[in-house]
Amino acid sequence: MGNELRVVMLPWSAFGHLMPFFQLSIALAKAKVHVSYISTPRNIQRLPKISPDLQPFIHLVPIPFPRFDPDFLQEGAEASIEVPFEKTENLQMAYDLLQTPIKHFIADQMPDWIIVDFAAHWVVEIAKEYGVPLAYFSGFSAATSVFFGPPEYLTGANRNYA
């Protein structure tokens, strides 16, 4: 790809996050930026079709969740809309298990930037390890974000699964 700018997009598994990241991917592709949009296979299948002129610039990267006991996370549940509210934390734990395959992808691709959502708190360490700049993208205004609490609460870095 030469000197072309390469960006990895890493949205949270909810359509209120997947779609703004997808729209940003389209905007970047129009600027001739090569985008790797990472999500689970089912989430990727549900995205709108990419116009032929932008297809060379957007690479949809499906990374599946591991298999879980149906009591933990029902089979095929890959987005918040498919998970009962009381099991949202289970979806977050499943999402956290994408850390290793995403780390391998970043190590292999060595993008110029990673654009991340709130949920992938662990990508900070991956970006540091490989020296890849990291940008946080939120579909919410700063004023709205105030109501969600301090950054430690947003990132999930203090999440306790015990």
Considering 17, 53, 59, 71, which one is annotated as catalytic?
17
To the query of whether residue 117 is one of the catalytic residues in this protein, the response is: yes
To the query of whether residue 17 is one of the catalytic residues in this protein, the response is: yes
Considering 53, 96, 117, 121, which one is annotated as catalytic?
117
3-state secondary structure string across the chain: CCCCCEEEEECCCCHHHHHHHHHHHHHHHHCCCEEEEEECHHHHHCCCCCCCCCHHHEEEEECCCCCCCCCCCCCCCCCHHHCCHHHHHHHHHHHHCCHHHHHHHHHHHCCCEEEECCCCCCHHHHHHHHCCCEEECCCCCHHHHHHHCCHHHHHCCCCCCC
List residues with catalytic annotation. 17, 117
